[in-house]
Structure 1
Amino acid sequence: MGIISGKVAALALTGSLTVGAFGFAFTGGETVDQVKAQLEGLKNKVTAYEFSENALFEKIGLVKADATEKLTFANGKIVEAKNQINDLEAEKSLLTKTNAKLTAERDQLLADKAQLEESLASANADKARLNQELEAANAKIAELNNIIAEKNAEIAELEGEVSGLEKQLADLQADYDALFAENEANKSEAERANAEVKKANEKVAELGDVSADVEDKTENLKPMTQEELDAISTENKPDVFDAELVVKNLGLTYIQDGQSEAFKAAHPDLNIQEGDRVWRISNSNAFKVYVEYVKGNEKGELVANPSQTFYLTESGGTMIIKWQDENGVWKQTVKAGA
């Protein structure tokens, strides 16, 4: 039953009753208008509550989407920078080792030159008898000087490459530091957004009593319940990745058919000669890894590219390869070969 009974409403439509007929007249028009105004106000308030709640929910979704996009982009940049740093570290290790070898060779050549010059000085005491040996010694010294010049040029070139790699490494480290700082800023922005959501939730909670009062007086329009508001997640994903990349273990395989024509045709870049042994290193990391190998008296070093890398040795036997993990600890694997 509404605020005004059906009978009174029916009489109101026909106009005022005469006092002579029933002894009274309808006087509820002002009350009806007042109730109509109150209902119109309640309708406007409930509609406004619904609109505000929907706008709040949409804003929360936009804030979460924006934060998630920024965090995901920062993660990608961090991993890309770390992979490039690991690549350069592997290349630098190989060049440093090669530089040390060439320096040792140059020093040995210098010692040989000094020894030959000493022999030449003693040979001058008897030029007639040692003239032929003197010419040979001079030729050898000239040859050694050429070799020394070549080795010095190679060392200078390698030192330039190492210097360039160190600069690239420093630039990448700076980029990484900048990305890390930007990532920290994104964390702060996410925390601020969470604080805003919390404040919004507290404001919505204050509307609880008003919402309950309006619910008693309306049938169709209902504001969002406290349970629905609490169910809104304020957690942003993914978490920021700031841990060091793990160096996965390397695999080693002796290629049994390394001397077959089919294998040589499939790998012409290896330039396999008669008697060469072929080995394969499997690298499941997304970056290069510096590797040292030992097999009997044969030793060497190389950079294992992502996926697989082939290399050759001159004799069979047990092969050992070594590499460093993310903590700088040396690890190794062993494989027997014919």
Structure 2
Amino acid sequence: MLLLLQPPNPFEPTSFLYLFLTCPVKLLLQHAYRLLTYLRTAPTPLEPSIRIVCISDTHTLASDVPTGDILIHAGDLTNSGSIGSIQEQLNWLSSLPHTHKITIAGNHDTFLDPRTRPSLPESDRTGRLDWKDVRYLQHSTITLSISMPPPSPSSRPSNPSRTRHIRIYGAPQIPACGPNSTFAFQYPRGLDAWSDTVPEDTSILVTHTPPKYHLDLPLPSGMGCEHLLAEVRRVKPVLHVFGHVHWGAGQQVCWWDGCQEAYQRGMQREPGWSRGFLDWRLWRELVRVIAYGLKGLLWDKVWGGQGRSTRLVNAAQMVGNSGKLGNPVQIVEI
């Protein structure tokens, strides 16, 4: 029993028994939120749509990547972070057939952060990367103009323009999870490194860290950033791509409504069995998640309303800490 109550590894899934014993109400809150958001109709892409292929956390390895209009890599190209290993990944990405290729750095891409570059062997501290046709974003934006095929005679496109402009912002910083001397782009956990940093007209946001409580193994504590979540809520991009937490790989639609707000407030409550089980404010947020979630579901299924949302994608391909790629490549149509 003592072993069951020891703090879990935040980068590994926590056992159901541990969560049941330590935070039972939060466990209910999480499952209620996931179910109610899963049952809602996914946002409808424009016609014709743009196919976004999302990968992350390849850690020097290469995988089979489906074709698409835009390829996004959300960081951790490498393990060692050396200039040579980064260049090998760039060569691989450049060989892929996608017209547009975007990447950011992750905490393992040491060379790309001047603060951590001195930790590399001297031979890996200098030199220049050949980015080829890969566009690297580091607190920067790129606007892609994508020519769409002509509409079929029988269809009426929802977007009459034959060119779509997609504005992508990328940033690599993450809450600290390892040595500052070697892990790149870290900031102290709890520090606000995000407020008012993402342009309001961003269509696609690419970060390495997840937003807190979403695809980041949210229980018992969550490895994402609460300030990033607030920034995503402010900007409400169509798509947010990230990685970092390998076990969190997958997709989720975040509806910016009362259900999401109650879920976030509940997850922020202090953990602990007695504090959680007897915390009437936490129970109140659980009731609100169910009430607002059912309201949103009814509005969706009966009246066809959807509201503002962001599709969240954890594109990590590494399976846990196995050293092998195996998580599916994530594909989104927008």
Instruction: Please say whether Structure 1 and Structure 2 have the same fold, judged by a TM-score greater than 0.5.
Output: no
> Larger strand proportion, structure 1 or 2?
2
- The two structures have a TM-score, normalised by structure 1, of 0.20
> Larger helix proportion, structure 1 or 2?
1
Greater relative contact order structure (CA < 8 Å, 6+ sep): 2
- The two structures have a TM-score, normalised by structure 2, of 0.20
- The structure whose Rg is larger is 1
